[in-house]
Amino acid sequence: MIEHTYRAAVKIGDDYVTVEQKLILPVDASDDAIATATATAARIFAAQCESVELQIGFIREQRGPTSPAPAPASGNGGTSYAPREPDAPASTKQHEFIDRLRGKLGWSVGQLETFARGKAIDLLALTKGQASALIDALNASPPPAPPAMDGARRLPGMDGDDIPPPEPNGGDGEIPF
């Protein structure tokens, strides 16, 4: 006998649903036998889906309509977030996330420090509550503007210009080390 198992985990909202199909056939199974087994598995799966949908509908009818109030937006995962210990030192994850946001914005460490000071936040004594507020503020910051091209050398091919790059070491073909 040959056993073949196919599994797929599908994320739906915050939950994962695992779908599994297992076929067990003799070693000498014909293509027709394989096709029949696969079609049967698909029919079983469709019947299971229909049954689950009916059960969910029944549960919803019994409980009545519910619509949770939307949580306020926040940069910390899309919902309002209050750290458990707001005065405790910021976590390593918070520090790493702030650094990733800084890089995403194209800011230097000095620019981040200036931004934080403007929010009355001391990066050297950062608490969980301050880190959370800083993350929200960084997420609300506009994306970086593209670099200005005034007076800068344009790359070849930009705006139709074909400016060749300069030759290394005055054009003798050698790169000095």
What's the pLDDT score for residue 59?
Answer: 75
Which helix (H) or strand (E) segment holds residue 16: the answer is strand 15-25
Evaluate whether 139 touches 157 at the Cβ level (below 8 Å): no
**Helices 92-105 & 128-140, crossing angle to 10 degrees?**
20
Q: What is the DSSP secondary structure assignment for residue 123, as one 8-state letter?
A: G
What's the pLDDT score for residue 176?
Answer: 46
Spatial CB neighbours of 102, under 8 Å, sequence gap ≥ 6: 109, 111, 112, 138
Evaluate whether 18 touches 45 at the Cβ level (below 8 Å): no
Phi, psi of 108 (to 5 degrees): -80, 170
User: Which amino acid makes up residue 133?
Assistant: A
pLDDT digits (tens, 9 = 90+) for 11-37: 766 667 777 778 888 999 999 998 898
- Integer-rounded Cα radius of gyration of the chain: 30
Q: Which residues of 29-39 are buried (b: 16+ CB within 10 A; e: fewer)?
A: beeeeeeebee
Evaluate whether 18 touches 8 at the Cβ level (below 8 Å): yes
Spatial CB neighbours of 6, under 8 Å, sequence gap ≥ 6: 20, 21, 22
Low-confidence residues in the chain, pLDDT < 50 = 69, 71-75, 78-79, 149-150, 152, 154-163, 173, 175-177
Q: What is the pTM of this model?
A: 0.39
Using alpha carbons, list the distances in angstroms from residue 25 to 5, 32, 146. 12, 12, 60
Beta bridge partners of 2: 25
